[in-house]
Structure 1
Amino acid sequence: MNTIDYFKLQAKNLHKDFKTKTTLVDKTSSAFLYEYSPKYFDIEMVIADFDINENNFSLMNAQHVIAKIANFDKWASLLKASKSELELAKLMYDYQNRVDNVGWYFYIENAQSMNEVELDTEIQVDIFKQVVIEENIFEDTEIESYLLKHKY
């Protein structure tokens, strides 16, 4: 599956999770309008972080949220990204429980500054695979994830 199709699937999964909503019995005990039975995403965290209107959430809204989680400003930017930018975005998306966007960009900025070199996206992909996936250097950092597969 190519990366664009992967992110399309994530948007569809988010939209499916959102459609699991049922009316709350006791609306005074929750800040949300509905209860959810999600399979893929921490829906309440997504709603809170992205200020989502629970009464109006379309597949297009889901695409926008997925693009934001993948560190793009909008879905159209994700679609126009280079192959290496998409690969890095997918890695960061899949490993969002290990390092967040801010932590990663501080790490890259520090590496560039120390080595007095600009690290292009292809090199960042290789670095990510080594330090985040293989060595897990951020293991002492607690990161919230939008993905339920990371919630143990």
Structure 2
Amino acid sequence: MNTIDFFKLQSKNLHRDFKTRKLVFNNEFGELSYEFEPKHFDIELVIDDFNLDAENFTLMKAQHVIAKMAGFEKWTILIKASEPDLKIAKILYENQHKVDQLMWLFYLAEVEEMNQTIYDSETKLAICEDAFEREYFDDSVSFDCYLLDKKYG
């Protein structure tokens, strides 16, 4: 599966997870509320972090959220990105339980500063792949993750 198709699938999975919304009676608060039965994403965390309107969540909005999770400002920027930049985004997306976008940017800036250069996208991809091969980033990072599991298909 090419990288764009991977992110399209993530958008569809996020949208499908939103569509699991059901109105239920909350005994604790004595009122009606919504619950989700997602397979791929922690929907309530996504709603809170991205300030989403669960009433009007469309596939287009899901694409925007996935683009943000992948480190892009919006979907149109993601689909126009170079293949190396998309591959980096996919690696970081699949390993968001180990490293977030900010940590990656700090790591990359440190490597560039150490070598007194600014790397092109191909070299950044090689650095990213090497960092994960050497397990530079590990599971000890403690921050919330949007994904429920490691299944991306």
Report if TM-score (shorter chain) is over 0.5.
yes
| 1:67 aligned partner | 67
| Contact persistence 1:98–1:136 (CA under 8 A) | no
What root-mean-square deviation, in Å, do the aligned CA atoms of Structure 1 and Structure 2 show? 1.7
Shift of 1:131: 1.4
Contact between 2:97 and 2:141, CA under 8 Å: does it hold in 1? no
1:99/1:143 contact within 8 Å kept: no
Which ranges of structure 1 fall in alignment gaps of 5 or more residues? none
Q: Deviations over 1:22-74 (max 9, x none)?
A: 11312875xxx510000011111100100010111000110000011011111
Encode CA deviations 1:98-140: one digit per residue, 9 max, x unaligned.
Answer: 11000000011111111101122211211112212x2222323
Q: Identical aligned pairs, as a percentage?
A: 47
Q: Which amino acid aligns with 2:137?
A: F
**Distance in 2, Cα, partners of 1:54 & 1:88:** 30
1:24 paired to 2:24: yes
TM-score with structure 2 setting the length: 0.89
1:136 aligns with 2:135: yes
Q: Please tell me whether the aligned partners of residues 112 and 119 of structure 1 are also in contact (alpha carbons under 8 angstroms).
A: yes
Q: For residue 42 of structure 2, what is the amino acid of its counterpart?
A: D
Structure 2, unmatched stretches of 5+, are none
Aligned letter for 2:111?
A: A
Give how far 1:9 is off.
0.6
Report the alpha carbon displacement of residue 83 of structure 1 after superposing the two structures with TM. 0.8
Matched to 1:135, the amino acid is R
Alpha-carbon distance between aligned partners in 2 of 1:96 and 1:102, rounded to the nearest angstrom: 11
1:14 aligned residue: 14
3-state SS of the aligned residue for 1:103? Answer: helix
What is the identity, as a one-letter code, of the residue corresponding to 2:134? E
- Secondary structure of residue in 2 paired with 1:88: helix
Distance (whole Å) between structure 2 residues aligned to residue 44 and residue 27 of structure 1: 19
State the TM-score, normalizing by the size of structure 1.
Answer: 0.90
Report how many aligned residue pairs link the two structures.
147
C-alpha distance in 2 between matches for 1:117 and 1:43? 40
